[in-house]
Every structure is written in structure tokens, then in C-alpha cells.
């Protein structure tokens, strides 16, 4: 239960709306009970009057009460649903925003151990599950308790012993059955939450990896694993449905026993009236209607295990500590950036091998540096450290002789433009994806930049309003790369980090992009990781890495004369 405390605190933000929803639920239940109780008494009293030959009977007041209760129940049910769901959606909105805001400081280092499908499931499905907490637990429980008290007080006017009997049965039901069914349903609820997350994670991976799974003949095997998880999920849902049916059967049994008890004892007399007549129907129908308030309670507590499991999964995510924290100072951003790496060492969590091993490097402001090496030698890791996606375990990174740790996040982001290996585009227009880099850029500037990187054909149909879709799937790898370069150039930062900027480009386009970079990047500090050796003679310095270390560096002519690793790379062309 402790897992729910942080989320119960969120309800304070909308306490008036939530309280109003509970009040409307109580009014609706009382109107429903009053309608059935009054109707039953009215019909019975009318029949008794007719049999007794009594011709004077005030039927106007009971008839008005029946109509009033019916109207109140209808209106109350409508407004209760309207208010309760609106308040719940507002709570979920705040919870989702709050959860996402806590995830942002964790990215990317703190989220590396979570798969994308699992993160999506926790942020969406687990948050949605928490709506049960109010709609299926808090509101029904509070409503049932208040209704029981009101019914006891109301019936005690006629007969205290009968009122206490009915109230005692209902209170015992309220306090005994929900905990029993909570314990019975908790393992199933937790299992449902786990299987739901597992299934959606597998489904996301299966959909994203369709091409690779088909090419390597693993599609059928992966589909079978997905179906096995789905069958287990269905089995857990079936067990929960069976438990729900049992709880409803028990509730019907108790309500039937309560009705029979009311019929039996009321027939012996109500209060001082030894000939109760129509009052028997009043107590019987009141007992029958009052159990409507208890009907959702046992089923609600079965879902509580699922709610707690979802709350625990969200808490595990939001309570993670960021791997990187930024100061809140307001240091001015410099116009040029020099980079110094002092004995830099880094290894990824859980990996014994060093990704970077004691690297010392000094890059002057405005210098263009190319970094070469085999896959896995630490090139991309070095760029990640320069963006403070991670912090090194040993050594220090300085920008203009100032430790990188001293820069606030807004200032650091304004100093760096980066083209990563994996380019992400949002499901939005071409304009929206470009404005991420330069929010105040005009359409003319965006169009000019697209033309500079050779993407003018993207403007043919809808111009900057062209819809790119999720991940820009209709674009080729080369077009994605050039669009990322356009964003980096629009950002116009003094330090530019390029990770395989010409990957996926043909020779002609590669030459065009390299010439553009050389022209636009004049005066900027440039670090470019690449496997392509074309155009490296333009760089001021070339660094060759292996096993997380710098094994040689110099300009193109010096490295060719040395006939070392760079020379060997050139000979393989």
C-alpha cells in the first residue's frame, strides 16, 4: 500500500473536483435507494389500502417523491460520471507530465538499462492503470461507507434494531470481503501487469524488427514467443474474471440473506407497530437497493493488486537518480570553444572493459579534427562524453580551460551541435523537425538550408508543411543524414560533433556535404567521427583510435609519411 502514497498526494491538486465526484456518487446512490424503497412502499401501501377498503390515501406526496428520486438519480449519475472522469483525467495528465519530467534528467545514461517498449508501457499503460485507484477504489469505498451510515440513520427512525441489523451486515461486508478479495486477486493483478508489459515490449520489438527477423528466418520463432506471452496474459485475465464472478456471487448471496432477514424480522413488527403492513416492503426494498452501493467494492479491490504493481513500476522509474547533474549557474556562452581532455577513462555500467582508457587530448578553438578507428574502439563514446550524456569515471573534460561540469545544461546545449549515428525525426512536419534546432528561424532560412544540403526535392509537394511521419520512414538513410546535418547547421553552435555524417551518402553527395561542412564550419571547432576516408586532407588533424586509446595523430601528410595505421587504412581503398 505504501507504493500508492506518492500518487494519493497528487489528488490534492484536484481535491475539490474529486470530492464533488464522490458527493455526486453518494447522492446518486441515495436517490437510487430512495427510489426503490419509496416505490416498493408506495405500491404495497396502495394495495393494502385497497384491500382494507380505505378510500382516503395521500398518493400525491409519495408519487412526487418517486419522480424526484428518479430525476435526481438520472441527473446525479450523469454529472457524477462527468465530474469524476474529468477529475481523474486531470490527475492522470498531471501524473504523466510529472513522470515524463522526471525521466528527462535520466536520459540517456539513466534510461540505458530500460528497453524502449518497457519505458513506453510504464509511461502509458501503467499510468492509465492508476485511474482505478479513484474510480474503482476510493470513490466506491467512501460512497459505500456514507450510504451505509445514512441508511442506518434513516431506518432507525422507524426501527432501531432493524436498522442496526442491516447496517451491521453491510459494514461487515464492507470491511471483511474487500481485504479477502484483495489478497486473492493480488498475485493475479501483479501477474497481469508484468505480462502486459512483457507482451507490449515483445510486440514493439517484433514490429520494429520485421525486416531483420524475416531476413534471418527468426520471425516465426519470435511470433511464437509473442503468442505464448499472449496466452499467459489471457489466462491471467481469465483467472481475474473468475475471481470477479465469485465476488459477485458472494455479494448476491449476502444481499439475498440480508433481504430475507429483513423480511423475516420486519414481519414481526416495525418499531411499536405490530401490524407493519407496507413497512415490511419498505425495509425489504431498502435492503435490496442498499447493497447496490457495495456491489463494486469487492471487484474494485481485486484490481488494487494491479494498481499497486503499476505504481511500483512507475516509482522504480521515477526514483532513479540521474547519472549526470547540471549546476544552475548562468555562465555566459563563449563564442569559440577549445576542448581539453585530461587522462579521460570511461566504462559503461556492468562492462569490465574500458571504452576509453586514459585519453589526453587538446583541441584548439576553430580546429577541425577527424577521428578514425575500428568499430567499438571508443569514437562515439568520446562524442557522448563531450555532450555530457555520461560523465567519465576518471579524468576531466574542459571547455576553454573551464570544467564541463561547471556549465549549466542550457549553456552547454547552446555550445554544441551534434549529428548522431541514429537520426530521430518526430511525427510532424518538415518545418517542425527543423525548428527543433532553431526555434526562431524563418521559413526562408529553413528552405535555404535544405537547398544547401541537397534536400530541395522534399519541398516539391507540400513545402515545409510536408508530413514526415513516425521516424521519417519515407526518407532514405542519406536523406535522414542530410536532414540531421541541416539541423546541426541551423543550430549554429561553436562546437560541432559529427558521428558518421556521410554514412549512407553516394560519392557525389558525400563530396558536396564535405565541401559544405568545410565552408560553414570555418571558425568552429569540429570533431568528426568517420569510417570514410574521403576529404580528410581538409582536416587540421586526424586521430586514430584503437581499444579506447589514441594510437596516432597528425595531419594527412604527416600520417601518410609515418606509414602507420592511417596509412594502412588508405592502402585498403
pLDDT for position 320: 79
Q: What is the DSSP string of 379-438?
A: HHHHHHHHTTSS--SEEEEEETTEEGGGS-HHHHHHHEEEE-SS----SSBHHHHHHTT-
Domain count, the chain: 2
| Residue 472 scores a pLDDT above 80 | no
**How far is Cα 573 from Cα 570, in angstroms, rounded to an integer?**
6
pLDDT for position 56: 57
List the single range of 217-226, 489-498, 509-518 with lowest mean pLDDT: 509-518
| Residue 132 scores a pLDDT above 80 | no
pLDDT for position 473: 58
Q: Band of the pLDDT at 390, cuts 50, 70, 90?
A: confident
Are 410 and 558 in a shared domain?
Answer: yes
Are 16 and 81 in a shared domain?
Answer: yes
Are 527 and 426 in a shared domain?
Answer: yes
pLDDT tens digits for range 151-190: 999 888 888 988 999 999 999 988 888 888 888 888 888 8
Mean pLDDT of the chain: 84
Query: Domain limits at 288?
Result: 2-318
> Average of pLDDT values for 193-220?
83
Does some domain include residue 325? no
Are 353 and 237 in a shared domain?
Answer: no
**How far is Cα 167 from Cα 147, in angstroms, rounded to an integer?**
10
| Residue 501 scores a pLDDT above 90 | no
Residue of 132, 171, 131 whose CA lies nearest to 151: 171
Does some domain include residue 477? yes
CB distance 548 to 376 below 8 Å: no
Percent of the chain with pLDDT over 70: 96
pLDDT for position 228: 92
pLDDT tens digits for range 409-421: 888 888 898 888 8
Output the domain CATH number for residue 20: 1.20.1560.10
Q: Band of the pLDDT at 74, cuts 50, 70, 90?
A: very high
CB distance 536 to 556 below 8 Å: yes
Across 55-59, 489-493, 566-570, the highest mean pLDDT is recorded for 489-493
Are 478 and 567 in a shared domain?
Answer: yes
Does some domain include residue 333? no
Sign of the torsion angle spanned by Cα atoms 204, 207, 208, 214: positive
Altogether, the residues listed in the chain come to a count of 573
Are 78 and 194 in a shared domain?
Answer: yes
Q: Band of the pLDDT at 55, cuts 50, 70, 90?
A: low
| Residue 78 scores a pLDDT above 90 | yes
Does some domain include residue 312? yes
Across 142-156, 448-462, 476-490, the highest mean pLDDT is recorded for 142-156
Does some domain include residue 331? no
> Average of pLDDT values for 423-442?
87
Are 381 and 246 in a shared domain?
Answer: no
* pTM (2 d.p.): 0.70
Q: Band of the pLDDT at 241, cuts 50, 70, 90?
A: confident
pLDDT for position 231: 92
pLDDT for position 57: 63
Q: Band of the pLDDT at 470, cuts 50, 70, 90?
A: low
Does some domain include residue 326? no
Does some domain include residue 328? no
| Residue 471 scores a pLDDT above 70 | no
Q: 200 to each of 191, 196, 231, 287, how far by Cα in Å?
A: 14, 6, 13, 45
> Average of pLDDT values for 446-474?
80
373-395 burial, b at 16+ Cβ within 10 Å, e below that, comes to: beeebbbbbbbbbbbbbbebeeb
| Residue 535 scores a pLDDT above 80 | no
pLDDT for position 116: 67
Output the domain CATH number for residue 563: 3.40.50.300
Amino acid at each position: 500500500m505504501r507504493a500508492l502514497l506518492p500518487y494519493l498526494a497528487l489528488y490534492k491538486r484536484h481535491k475539490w473536483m474529486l470530492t464533488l465526484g464522490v458527493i455526486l456518487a453518494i447522492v446518486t446512490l441515495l436517490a437510487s435507494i430512495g427510489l426503490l424503497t419509496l416505490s416498493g412502499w408506495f405500491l404495497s401501501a396502495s394495495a393494502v389500502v385497497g384491500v382494507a377498503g380505505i378510500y382516503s390515501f395521500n398518493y400525491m406526496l409519495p408519487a412526487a417523491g418517486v419522480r424526484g428520486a428518479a430525476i435526481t438519480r438520472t441527473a446525479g449519475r450523469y454529472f457524477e460520471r462527468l465530474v469524476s472522469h474529468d477529475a481523474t483525467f486531470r490527475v492522470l495528465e498531471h501524473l504523466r507530465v510529472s513522470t515524463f519530467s522526471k525521466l528527462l534528467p535520466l536520459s540517456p545514461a539513466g534510461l540505458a538499462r530500460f528497453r524502449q517498449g518497457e519505458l513506453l508501457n510504464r509511461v502509458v499503460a501503467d499510468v492509465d492503470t492508476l485511474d482505478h485507484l479513484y474510480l474503482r477504489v476510493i470513490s466506491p469505498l467512501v460512497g459505500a461507507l456514507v450510504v451505509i451510515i445514512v441508511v442506518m440513520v434513516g431506518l432507525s427512525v422507524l426501527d432501531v434494531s432493524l436498522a442496526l441489523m442491516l447496517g451491521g451486515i453491510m459494514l461487515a461486508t464492507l470491511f471483511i470481503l474487500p481485504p479477502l478479495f484483495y489478497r486473492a486477486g493480488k498475485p493475479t493483478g501483479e501477474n497481469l501487469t508484468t505480462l502486459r508489459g512483457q507482451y507490449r515490449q515483445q510486440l514493439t520489438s517484433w514490429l520494429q524488427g520485421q525486416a531483420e527477423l524475416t531476413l534471418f528466418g527468426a520471425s516465426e520463432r519470435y511470433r511464437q514467443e509473442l503468442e505464448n506471452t499472449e496466452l499467459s496474459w489471457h489466462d491471467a485475465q481469465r483467472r481475474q474474471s473468475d475471481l470477479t464472478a465469485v465476488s459477485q456471487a458472494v455479494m448476491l448471496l449476502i444481499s439475498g440473506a440480508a433481504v430475507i432477514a429483513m423480511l423475516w424480522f420486519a414481519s414481526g413488527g416495525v418499531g411499536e407497530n405490530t401490524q407493519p403492513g407496507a413497512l415490511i416492503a419498505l425495509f425489504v426494498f431498502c435492503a435490496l437497493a442498499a447493497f447496490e452501493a457495495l456491489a463494486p467494492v469487492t471487484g474494485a479491490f481485486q484490481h488494487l493488486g494491479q494498481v499497486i504493481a503499476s505504481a511500483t513500476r512507475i516509482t522504480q522509474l521515477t526514483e532513479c537518480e540521474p547519472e549526470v547533474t547540471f549546476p544552475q549557474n548562468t555562465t555566459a556562452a563563449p563564442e569559440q570553444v577549445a576542448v581539453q581532455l585530461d587522462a579521460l577513462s570511461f566504462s559503461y555500467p556492468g562492462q569490465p572493459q574500458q571504452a576509453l582508457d586514459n585519453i589526453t587530448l587538446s583541441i584548439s578553438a576553430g580546429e577541425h579534427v577527424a577521428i578514425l578507428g575500428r568499430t567499438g574502439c571508443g569514437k562515439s563514446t568520446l562524442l557522448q562524453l563531450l555532450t555530457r550524456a555520461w560523465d567519465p569515471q576518471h579524468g576531466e573534460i574542459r571547455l576553454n580551460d573551464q570544467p564541463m561540469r561547471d556549465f549549466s545544461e542550457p549553456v552547454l546545449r547552446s555550445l554544441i551541435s551534434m549529428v548522431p549515428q541514429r537520426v530521430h525525426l518526430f511525427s510532424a512536419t518538415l518545418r517542425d523537425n527543423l525548428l527543433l534546432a532553431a526555434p526562431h528561424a524563418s521559413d526562408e532560412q529553413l528552405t535555404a538550408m535544405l537547398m544547401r544540403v541537397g534536400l530541395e526535392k522534399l519541398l516539391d509537394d507540400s513545402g515545409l508543411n510536408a508530413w514526415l511521419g513516425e521516424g521519417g520512414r519515407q526518407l532514405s538513410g542519406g536523406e535522414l543524414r542530410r536532414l540531421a546535418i541541416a539541423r546541426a547547421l541551423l543550430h549554429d553552435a561553436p562546437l560541432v560533433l559529427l558521428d558518421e555524417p556521410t554514412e549512407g551518402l553516394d560519392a557525389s553527395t558525400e563530396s558536396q556535404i564535405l565541401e559544405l561542412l568545410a565552408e560553414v564550419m570555418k571558425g568552429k571547432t569540429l570533431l568528426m567521427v568517420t569510417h570514410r576516408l574521403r576529404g580528410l586532407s581538409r582536416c587540421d588533424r586526424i586521430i586514430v583510435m584503437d581499444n579506447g586509446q589514441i594510437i596516432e595523430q597528425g595531419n594527412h601528410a604527416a600520417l601518410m609519411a609515418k606509414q602507420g595505421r592511417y596509412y594502412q587504412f588508405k592502402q585498403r581503398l
